[in-house]
Structure 1
């Protein structure tokens, strides 16, 4: 390594020779700065520079080369940097497809598209706006141990009288459908009428049609008007049961309507024997028509009967006679002074309530013998009874679905008596609410017709 002072001395000597007096080997003394008499052209300066280099022992630079720069002092050595960790090798890129063929290496060409491409799956629509965020599906909660299983199809639901599935419908026979509940009412003179028919818990659970039918109709007008209420029940587990019940109501209604003038006159004149024979004849004809209809539909006649129970009510306020007639099971009861009285002509002996005493001029209940012409089902006598209405009485006509719990459950009978012993008759909805009170073990259809006297 050269010392800084030595290099500096050579440079000063070179510049003195270049710019000293005479411009040649015998240049002026050191430190002379006077003017030079040598020619001052470009060629002269170049020649002078070459001569100065030759005198110092340095090689003359080639034309066009720059003069050698003075050497710089060496920099102190830097500390060594720590070695960097090796980078992980990058995965090899897949080979590019051959431009000549267009196929990627190592892959097979995709199958050609079908002639009729399959349309893409539809995108499910989502609602927008407030409250449209989809709800998180909840996991089904397993029932606790020991919880009762779902009731079998033959058992009614235990959780209340809510309707279940709708009955199956035939597009070609929509007139066969029957609503779950029917409700009606009227007021004439001194009487107030309420009527309701509803499907039983068992039929609601199974999705079966209501087998009870209800008819409330008025014939005539004014004081000569005659009200008819008919309640019918189709046979259990029989084909066309609901149709049979509705047919029975319709045919007895038509027969009474065609004879309403004569029947109203017999009521006003208290011709009870004439009423009994006339109504029995009309009932037998209706059952004969039912059996003929069963044969037309290819059904056994014995499977197409229906329990039929009717009330005849004159609209004349001066006539207090009420007439009951019919065939088959059911109930006829009277609520007087807060207690039930059974007026059924074939009343059983095990009733938990007192029997109805006979009013003055009111004959005892009677049942006509079975006819031999085959117009009624065997063992089903014609039933007939007249009753005299007093202010404050309530007369109840019902199907077996309500008559059975009334006769077998004293608590239920007492509750209905309290509901229907109020000073004023209930409204339609209140009447329906009371009539459909549930009783365990009694899941049949219920139909109730109540007449309040004032």
Structure 2
């Protein structure tokens, strides 16, 4: 019989039948001691695994009477229930096994009872059996099988936690939940700002970041803003008038073509030069609602390398009702005259014929101003009121020709910016030249240096031109200058509204020299911002044309 459970009896293991057959008399119960020492020895043997009976173990044992140890039953065999022996009565009935009320044979120690927690001893030739590790889930724990008994233990279900007051089950305990795996951090792009400039609100799945705790160290002051690219004014203080237009000039519904815009801006690039031109109303005219008295004309005559650029600007008489009309007409007259003669002018500029250029342009200027005065007489206006100062600049489009020609009559200025320094190149005239009449246009009789009398001495009057009336002598001297530009030069021609502050305010000269000394010409908007920098005490209209040499 095996202590591991019932199994079919084998011939070599039928020791029970050999000892207790019909020929063997019953020995009766064996007297054994039941003292404290015997119980201690039995407990020690059970713990340490030493052989010995449960009632002492001090008497010698008969090796022939000691039962043989059975090999450990494999798990798959132990799982099957033991067969039940057939029932017997009388002498054929087998005695009960040890531990069930029948003592073992005399001289034989009963088999040692193994504790439930004691692992079975390894038998030679038998594989070692190990119980599987306990399986643990979040709520139930399955105890390991007893040593040598690989049957499943009953499942114990723990009661569910009571629900919350709101009816939902309580969350699982935090100490029994598996630790969440670390997820990679994904940086979401910031949402673009709204059209009104304010940042977009954070999305609903991203709560707003908590505010940083206040630190004991005061924050550092923000850096100073960069200096502005353009100024509003220079000098000791701001001008009296507002920097922007205030009132519009009065308009005649029947003469809307006579309206003049507050600001005119233009530009071009031909050959080796870049042109920027602007004409804007002064602070006083903007405040009083007066029209701009300055006029600006930029025109190109011809094509290709034979083209000629003309920049003309005129200023009407101060406090005259039609000053802006006189300035615009002066520009149209000189433009028409230059356009008709542009081929001869281009040839003279290329050949550097200074004498021919000066005399021809002087004649064109006098005729244009003479026609202007003649138109004033036809309109019944005073010639002194319907007049204008005129200044012009000729620029050939040929990149190999760097000759720049200036001519005109009246107030204004001509400056050159070279190596960061301003040069006033306005042509100087002597006092004797002021008011000198032009020969052939109504001049009185005069003598030559050799003493010869002119045609008027013969008594033959100068006939009037059948095409245009004879103009009066110009009030202002004619100014002419032809120069060769160098790479990097900036030539500036302007009316009195900008020439006077350039001559009288050093801060304006320094500012424009810093802005316009760069190799590349500024854009139209930047040039306009530079040209309208105001100076206290100078509130007239400003018209300027600048040429940057590549």
TM-score, scaled relative to structure 1: 0.60
Indicate the residue corresponding to 2:542 in structure 1.
446
2:264 to 179, 182, 185: 182
CA distance in 1, matches of 2:545, 2:434: 22
Partner residue, 1:208: 290
Residue of structure 2 in register with 1:423 after alignment:
519
Contact 1:368 1:382 in 2 (8 A): no
Give 2:352's match in structure 1, choosing from 239, 253, 270.
270
2:133 match: none
1:325, 1:398 → 2: CA distance? 12
Cα 1:171/1:308, change in 2 over 3 Å: same
Residues 213-237 of structure 1: CA deviation (Å, up to 9, x unaligned): 0000000000000000001000001
Compared with structure 1, are the counterparts of its residues 406 and 286 closer, same or farther at alpha carbon in structure 2 (3 Å cutoff)? Answer: same
Gaps of 5+ in 2: 1-237, 443-470
Counterpart of 1:296 (choices 378, 386, 389) is 378
- CA distance in 1 between counterparts of 2:326 and 2:421 reads 35
Provide closer, same or farther for how the CA distance between residues 233 and 368 of structure 1 changes in structure 2, counting only shifts above 3 A: same
Superposition pairs for residues 82-161 of structure 1, below 5 Å? 158=240, 160-161=242-243
1:437 aligns with 2:519: no
CA contact (8 A) 1:367 1:383 kept: no
Whole-Å separation in 1 of the counterparts to 2:499 and 2:407 = 16
SS of structure 1 residue aligned to 2:487: coil
* Secondary structure of 2:500's aligned partner: helix
- Equivalent position of 2:123 in the other structure: none
1:171 maps to what in 2?
253
Contact 1:330 1:399 in 2 (8 A): yes
Contact persistence 1:305–1:377 (CA under 8 A): no
Q: Map 1:37-436 to 2 at 5 A.
A: 158=240, 160-346=242-428, 369-371=436-438, 373=441, 375=471, 379-436=475-532
Cα contact 1:157–1:202 (8 A) shared by 2: no
CA deviations 1:113-141 (Å, max 9, x no partner) are xxxxxxxxxxxxxxxxxxxxxxxxxxxxx
Q: Distance in 2 between matches of 1:376 and 1:428?
A: 39
In structure 2, the residue corresponding to 1:304 is in which secondary structure?
coil
Deviations 1:233-286 (A, max 9, x none): 000011210010000000100000000000000001111110111111111110
Contact 1:370 1:381 in 2 (8 A): no
The whole-number CA distance in structure 2 between the counterparts of 1:337 and 1:319 is 22
Counterpart secondary structure, 1:161 = coil
C-alpha displacement at 1:423, in angstroms?
2.0
> For residues 453 and 224 of structure 1, what CA distance do their matches in structure 2 show?
19
The CA deviation at 1:346 is 2.3
**Within 1, Cα distance between the matches of 2:332 and 2:474?**
22
Equivalents in 2 of 1:443, 1:303: separation in Å?
A: 21
Distance 1:317 1:230, change over 3 A: same
> Equivalents in 1 of 2:401, 2:434: separation in Å?
24
| Alignment deviations for residues 401-427 of structure 1 (CA, whole Å, 9 cap, x no partner) | 000000011111111111111121100
CA RMSD of aligned residues (A): 1.9
- How many residues align structurally? 282
Secondary structure of the corresponding residue to residue 293 of structure 1: helix
Asked whether the equivalents of residues 434 and 476 of structure 2 are also in contact (C-alpha less than 8 Å), the reply is no
C-alpha distance in structure 2 between counterparts of 1:230 and 1:336, whole Å: 23
Partner of 2:115: none
Identify unmatched segments of 5+ residues in structure 1.
Answer: 1-155, 349-365
The answer on whether the counterparts of 1:334 and 1:396 sit within 8 Å (CA) in structure 2 is: yes
